[in-house]
A = this chain, B = another copy of it.
Amino acid sequence: MSDLNRRNFVGGVLASSAALLAAGRAAAAPKLPDIRREVERRHDEAVARLQEWIHQPSIAAENVGMDEGCALMMKLATDAGFQHVERMPTRGAPGVYATLDAGAKKTLGLYFMYDVKQVEPSEWASPPWEARLVDVPDLGTIVRGRGAVNQKGPQAAFLAALHAIRGAGHKPPVNLVLVADGEEEIGSPNFAEVVLAPAPRAALARSLGVLGPDASQARDGGVTMTLGSKGDIELDLIVSGEKWGRGPDHDLHSSYAARVDGPAWHLVQALYSLVTANGDPAIDGFFEHVRPLTGAEQAMLDVAAKRLDEATAKKVAGVKTWARDANWRQALEDSAARPTLTIEGLVGGYTGPGGKTILPHKLTAKLDLRLVPDMTPEDIVAKLKAHLAKRGFGDIEVVVNGGFNYTSTTASSSPLIQSQIGVYRGFGIDPMLWPRSGGSDPGSLFTGPPLSLALANFGLGYGTGAHAPDELFLVDSKNPKLHGMHDMVQSFVDYLYAIA
C-alpha cells in the first residue's frame, strides 16, 4: 500500500549522491541558538503531545470522533499560543479557524487537517491508536499509529516550534492564520465553508501564502518540492437495462442473451469510445484547455530527468516500459503535464470465483480523471456527458463521487519557496523542484480565486505508511540521511525566521 501514499507521486528516488550539499549551512538568525536549546529541551514533551493526538481517532469516513478531534485541534492551537480559536461548523464535520497575532509585519497561513484514514487493526503490528514508540533498524525510534505522518506528526512538530519559540521567551516572527479541515480524507467536501468564511478569508488574504507541514524527506534523504498538483474527478459510469431501454431490468439467466441485449456490451462500447488505441483520453474536447508547461517548469523537468533514476522508478512502478514508449524525460513530463483517464475499477454481474450463468442488467465502471491547468471538473464532466450522448450512450449515468480542482503552481520565486530552499540547504539538502504532483488535494481553495495564494508543503523529516497499516513517523533518527522530529521542529523555526 505504501506506493499509494498520496504524498509520494514523483518519478523515482533522488540519486543520493546529489541529495546532499557539502556547503550551505551558513546563515542562522541571531535568535536561533536559544530556541534550538529549547527545541531540544522540549523534545519529549513534543513527542508526548503527538502521541496524545494519535490517541484520538477522528475518522470522517466513519463519522467517528469528529467532535472530539475538533476540540483537541482547538486545544492544541490554544496551547501553542493562538489567541483566537474558533470552531467552524460546516454541513459535515467542523473545521477550525485560529489566529496568532505576534505583532509582526508579515502573516503566514497554515493548513492543517485533524482527520485520519480508516484502520484495520488486525493488519497492524501494534494498535493504531496506541502511538507506540518502536526502534526500527536503519531508521531509529519511530512512533507507529494512524495519522503519525499524515499529518499529525508534521503538524505536531510545527506546534512544537511555536512552543519552543515561546519557551525561549520570544514571540513568533510572523503572525499566523490557521485553518484546519476535519474531512481531508474524504475529499474535503465542505472545507470551502471554512476557508472562505468572511473572517478566515480576510485573514488569509493578508498572508504571504499557506504552509502545510509535511515530512518531506524520501527514504534516501532527498527532498522534492512539489509546486502544484493536478485536479481530479472520480465518477461512476453506470449502465442499466432500465435506463438503456434495451436490456433487462433485472439479472437474467445467460441463456436469454440470444434474444435480450446485454447492458455489459453497451458499457464496453461506451468505454471503448473514451480512449484512443493507446489508451489516451479521446473525450471530445478533453485537451482544449490544457495549458502548456512554462519554460521554468520544463527546466525543472530537465533537472529531474538527470537527478531521478529511471531504473528505480520503473521498479517502483512495476513496469517495463512507460506509456507511449516515452523516454525518461518525456515520462516525467507526462507525469507532471498530461491529463488522464483511468479505469479505477470494473464491477457488475457475477464477480466471484468461477462462473455464474447470468446476463447482468447493471454494471459500473469507476473512472478517475486527472486534470491540469486550466481544465475544470465541471467542464470535463460536461464534455464527458456530451461525448457519450453524441455516440448513443446518453443513457449511461455519470455519477460524480468527488474531486478537486487543480492546485495552481506556486512560483519558485515566492518567498515561501525560496525560504524552504534556504532552510533545506542549511541542513545540507539540495531540494529538487517538481512542477506538479499527479495527486490531488484541496489546495485549490488557497491557490485558486478568490485567494490566489502561494501554497507550500514543507518540513524536514521522514515518515511512511499514510493510508496503510503501520503508518510511522521518525522521532529520533539513527540514519545519517534522515532527520528526526527535533530537526523537523528546528526546520519550522528556521522557516518562520527565514520568511519573516
Q: Which residues of A contact B (CB under 8 A)?
A: 3-6, 9, 230, 232, 234-236, 241, 245-262, 264-269, 271-272, 275, 277-279, 317-323, 326, 331-332, 334-351, 354-361, 363, 365-366, 368, 370, 401-402, 437-440
Contact = CB atoms under 8 A, between A and B. Distances in A.
A260 B356 contact: no
Contacts of A319: 241, 246-249, 260-261
B345 A252 contact: no
14 contacts: A252-B317, A253-B439, A257-B323, A258-B438, A260-B319, A262-B342, A344-B350, A344-B356, A344-B358, A345-B348, A345-B349, A345-B350, A345-B356, A354-B401
Nearest to A279: B265
Contacts of A251: 4
Given A261-B279, A343-B268, A346-B347, A439 B322 contact: no
B331 A259 contact: yes
A351 B345 contact: yes
B250 A230 contact: no
Contact of A318 (B248, B351, B402, B440): B248
A89 B343 CA distance: 47
A349 B234 CA distance: 14
Contact of A266 (B5, B279, B359): B279
Given A234-B354, A268-B343, A349-B343, A259 B437 contact: no
Contacts of A247: 319
Nearest to A244: B320
Given A258-B338, A259-B335, A265-B275, A402 B355 contact: yes
A283 to B, nearest CB: 13
Contacts of A277: 269
B340 A257 contact: yes
B344 A347 contact: no
B317 A345 contact: no
B318 A437 contact: no
Given A241-B319, A343-B262, A357 B361 contact: no
Contacts of A334: 258-259
A255 B357 contact: no
Contact of A257 (B255, B320, B341, B401): B341
A236 B353 CA distance: 9
A357 B340 contact: no
A143 B264 CA distance: 38
A346 B344 contact: no
A360 B367 CA distance: 11
Nearest to A271: B268
A366 B355 contact: yes
A366 B253 CA distance: 14
A81 to B, nearest CB: 37
Contacts of A338: 258-259
